[in-house]
Structure 1
Amino acid sequence: MKDQYNPLFDPLMANNVCLAGQLLLLDLIEKVEPYCKLLQSNTDGIFVKVEKEEDIPKIKEVAAEWEKRTRLDLEWEVFDKIFQKDVNNYIIIDKNGKYKSKGAYVKKLNDLDYDLPIVNKALIEYFTKGIDVGTTITNCNSLREFQKIVKVSNKYLYATLGEVKLPEKVLRVFASNDENAPGVYKIKLKNKDGEEQEVAEKIGNTPERCFIDNDIVTDKEVPPTLDKEYYIEIAQKRLNDFLGIPNKRKKPAKKKSE
């Protein structure tokens, strides 16, 4: 209903549905709060922490009254652990180690959405098995797991690796530990002093030094030039976001005097 190109486009009703759901859940929260601790509430569900198992029947009894009154049905699931960055980024783990996750940091990837998979895997291994993110990344030797997929939109003329023009607009980018390796840029026309000139912009969320491999990398092993420390740093920053640890900002490098 919020898609302007859909025949059912109706932003007012879309907001009404969302707001009504939130208000009804707020009513449920108020009713069950004496018996559990609220961890998270969203538009269509809540996470609560139960201290004693004997409180569960009472919680379900209160919820059943809410279901009858609102004519809505609740589904129940039990988990042992929850790690959350916010309501849209979390991972929940049951007693058997099985998990569900939501959000870009910990979502399950597929062949059409396989971007920085090693970082997601490192976080999942940490939360489900307690394995350090650096260990997971260091022990991985599959090049495909380290790919960063970038797409250059039609607003730009082409992409470059340093000053080398690239024929493709979809690139598989990898961090490089070669100090002489260039960055990856996108080129567009910009009006300067009445003349159109080509201007380079660094492609966002890509390493300062990188290499590109647009061939089939399914069975390729990690080359010596891959900078695994780059991926460890990303994984550690994302882990800190979940654990509520402030990330230290790097001080900008001082320019050497001539």
Structure 2
Amino acid sequence: MVVFKDINKATIRTFLNGFSQLGEFIQDKVLVGFNNYGYDDVILYEMTKNVPQSKIKKTNDDIIGGDRKRTNQLPCKTYDCFQQIDVSRPSLKKIEANMGRAIYESQIPFDIDRKLTDEELEETLNYCAYDVEQTIDVYKQRVNSYFKPKEYLVSMLDKSFPDNAYKWNTTTISSNILVDKSLTKWAWLEVPEHILNLAPAEVVDMWKTKDKGKKVTHEFDNKIEWGFGGLHGVHHSIKEADNVKLLDVGSLYPSIIKNLTHKKVLEDGTRKYIQMIQDRMEAKENGDKERSDALKLILNSVYGNLKNKYSDLLNPNASKTICAYGQCILYELCRRLSHHATIININTDGVAFVPHNNEFHRIWKDWEQEFNFTLELDEFDKWFQRDVNNYIAVGKDGSIKTKGGDTNRYGGNRFFQNNSARILDICLVDYLVYGKDIIDNLQEHLDKPMLFQYVLQAGSTYQGTFDDKGNQYNKVNRVFPTFPGKGTTLYKKREDGGLVMFPDMSNDMYLFNGELTEFHDFKKIINIDHYYQIVLKRLERWG
């Protein structure tokens, strides 16, 4: 069965038991799916060739069993909404749940070995149509942020590349735009000596002799961690501060690549890379967002590709060089600022501090001129922090910037990531920033069930989701903490049959996998004390 809809969700063709004319129908069209590069495209190709159903069934079973298959032989272009969507690799069902949609999982077994009844056929058709409609919504959310910039990247490839290059991920496309052969791997660290000497001797020794690990130093009342992923530091005692300045190094890693003139990171591709830095600045100034976003993808992909064993850019010591270089110059900025400011947070490419006077302006400009980098200033009336990776910053205009697992969903939904219980982030931030009562905040948001939902999914290493009576549930479920007697307890079931609780979950869960706009009993079932207790526990960590 195959269902085709247009961008407006109108059904334009359905193929049921026979696939005659399927190949002609998709000829020269653009098909969009979800995880179709790893499944649908392969099955669709076999359908167009009218292979026996038994062969299609075997291919289906092979893929589900873990056999990776790909095809580039369809007579049309295909785009995959799953490609590079997020490192967590969310399923379409999880995205549906995150968006407050009905979590519609087919009740018809995929391994059924007979002809479907009329009722089963209708159920399967509805299931397929529903997933296509959800895929359309995902595509619309990603078209400007992913597909259009990627299309621009493809247009930058040399014409000698194969027609299916548009299926590559953006990091692969980017590396092929920059170089036409594998880079020569550096034998050792190539940080210029005058830069390297800015770091403590024990840190330099670590970089020269190891490939992982960290060193901790304590300076300007900060605990500072040096390593292979960026400089991190946080003040020993300050959890809250006023009049905070944040100096960020603009395009840190691309700028380091540009400044490493004695050893070209991308060899012959370095000149092209440096030109792209300039081109992107011009594109931003001219409002050419598509070009700017595409060039940003290339510029920001290089550092990661230097550590990617599958990339032509693989060069571990170049990656280590860039990382060490960045830590050295940021540390030097912190050191200079510390004579005229209180350093409160150091994080990879930026330093937050409370100035004692206006000397930081002179230090800022002197540092830029000496090291050939650009610093960008943000100013905040208020700053709260739990640790180096968790903070809340209130701008002079009242805007709120958050970072970290306790707060990063304050400003909006994360449909492609973890979107569970966003109300916790809202209550914590509002309490710290505005002193807003937690219970009042919870009650004021009871008209928005999506803020309270928990989306549960047992991973692939588990049999699935079960209750303590052995009943199996969807692979993805939406639950809400409720009162004793009104719900059930869901578990992840291990392969050995053992039951494992979902973290931070109530023993009494109310299951609702329908459309949240139709959840009319929400206020009657929700137990807001569950959320209140979690917010209190989190606030303890914020000191």
User: Structure 1 length normalisation: TM-score?
Assistant: 0.81
1:44 alignment counterpart:
349
Code of the aligned partner of 2:421: L
Alignment partner for residue 126 of structure 1, among 431, 434, 441? 431
**Aligned partners of 2:457 and 2:465 also within 8 Å:** no
- How far residue 238 of structure 1 moved from its aligned partner, in angstroms, is 1.4
For residue 169 of structure 1, the aligned residue among 451, 468, 475 is: 475
Q: Distance in 1 between matches of 2:320 and 2:534?
A: 36
CA distance in 2, matches of 1:73, 1:65: 11
Relative to structure 2, which stretch is displaced further, 65-74 or 17-26?
Answer: 17-26
Contact 1:144 1:218 in 2 (8 A): no
SS at match of 2:524: coil
Would you say 1:216 and 2:515 are equivalent positions? Answer: yes
AA in 2 matched with 1:187? K
The alpha carbon displacement at 1:117 in A equals 1.0
What is the rounded CA distance, in whole Å, between the counterparts of 2:463 and 2:416 in structure 1?
A: 25
Give the equivalent residue in structure 1 for 2:466: 160
1:100 aligns with 2:410: no
Q: Which segment is superposed worse, 42-51 or 106-115?
A: 106-115
Does 2:330 correspond to 1:25? yes
Secondary structure at the residue paired with 1:111?
Answer: coil
**Which whole-Å CA distance do the structure 2 matches of 1:25 and 1:38 have between them?**
12
Task: Kindly indicate whether the alpha-carbon contact (under 8 Å) linking 2:465 and 2:491 is maintained by their aligned counterparts in 1.
Answer: yes
C-alpha separation between the residues in 1 aligned to 2:523 and 2:468? 20
CA-to-aligned-CA distance 1:215-252 (integer Å, 9 cap, x gap) = 1114535242321101011111112212x1xxxxxxxx
| 1:38 partner SS | strand
Task: Tell me if structure 2 keeps the 8 A contact 1:22–1:42.
Answer: no
Q: Please state if 1:229 is matched with 2:529.
A: yes
Q: Is the 8 A contact 2:486 2:510 kept in 1?
A: no
One-letter code aligned to 1:69: E
Q: Distance in 1 between matches of 2:517 and 2:486?
A: 27
Name which of structure 1's ranges 139-148 and 33-42 shifts more when overlaid on structure 2. 139-148
Aligned counterparts, 1:184-223, within 5 A? 184-190=490-496, 198-218=497-517, 220-221=519-520, 222-223=522-523
Question: What one-letter code is carried by the residue in structure 1 that aligns with 2:534?
Answer: I
Counterpart of 1:157 in 2: which secondary structure? strand
* Aligned pair partner of 2:416 in 102, 105, 112: 112
- Which amino acid is 1:237 matched to? K
Whether the 8 Å CA contact 2:486–2:525 is kept in 1: the answer is no
Q: Determine the C-alpha separation between the residues in 2 that align with 1:32 and 1:81.
A: 19
Distance 1:87 1:241 in 2: 13
Q: Which deviates more from structure 2 when the two are superposed, residues 81-90 or residues 119-128? A: 119-128
Q: Distance in 1 between matches of 2:345 and 2:476?
A: 38
**Does the 8 Å contact 1:78/1:94 carry over to 2?**
yes
- Structure with more of its chain in helix, by fraction: 2
Q: 1:227 to 1:90 in 2, by over 3 A?
A: same
**Aligned residues of 1:146 and 1:174 also touching (Cα < 8 A):** yes
SS of residue in 1 equivalent to 2:484? coil
Which residue of the partner structure matches residue 65 of structure 1? Answer: 366
- Superposition deviation, residue 10 in structure 1: 4.5
Stretches of structure 2 that go unaligned for 5 or more consecutive residues are 1-303
Instruction: Please point out which of 442, 465, 480 is paired with 1:137.
Output: 442
Kindly indicate whether the alpha-carbon contact (under 8 Å) linking 1:184 and 1:206 is maintained by their aligned counterparts in 2. Answer: no
Secondary structure of the corresponding residue to residue 60 of structure 1: helix
Cα distance in 2 for partners of 1:73, 1:103 equals 26
Paired residues, what number? 232
CA displacement 1:143-186 (0-9 Å, x = unmatched): 22111112211211221133252341111121122257432111
Residue aligned with 1:237, SS? helix
| Secondary structure in 2 matching 1:77 | strand
- The answer on whether the counterparts of 1:150 and 1:173 sit within 8 Å (CA) in structure 2 is yes
8 A contact 2:428–2:539 mirrored in 1: yes
CA contact (8 A) 2:477 2:513 kept: yes
- Helix, strand or coil at the partner of 1:101: strand
Residue 75 (structure 1) aligned with residue 376 (structure 2)? yes
Higher strand share: 1
CA separation of 1:135 and 1:23: change in aligned 2, threshold 3 A? same
Distance 1:10 1:219 in 2: 54
How far did residue 7 of structure 1 move? 5.0
Alignment deviations for residues 48-88 of structure 1 (CA, whole Å, 9 cap, x no partner): 0024xxx23x2121121111111111000110111111111
Question: Percent sequence identity over matched residues?
Answer: 24
Corresponding letter in the other structure for 1:76: L
Q: What's the RMSD between the two structures over aligned residues?
A: 2.1
SS in 1 for 2:498: strand
* AA in 1 matched with 2:528: K
Distance (whole Å) between structure 2 residues aligned to residue 163 and residue 220 of structure 1: 26
Contact 2:392 2:400 in 1 (8 A): yes
Q: What is the rounded CA distance, in whole Å, between the counterparts of 1:12 and 1:132 in structure 2?
A: 52
Q: Under a length normalisation based on structure 2, what TM-score does the superposition of the two structures give?
A: 0.40
Per the alignment, do residues 160 and 4 of structure 1 end up closer, same or farther by CA in structure 2, a change over 3 Å counting? Answer: farther
Letter in 1 for 2:383: I
Counterpart position of 1:193: none
User: How far, CA to CA, are the matches of 2:431 and 2:344 in structure 1?
Assistant: 21
What is the CA deviation profile of residues 174-201 of structure 1, one whole-angstrom value per residue up to 9, with x for unaligned ones? 11222574321111322xxxxxxx2222
Please give the alpha-carbon distance, in whole angstroms, between the structure 1 residues aligned to 2:492 and 2:524.
27
Deviation for aligned residue 1:204 = 2.5
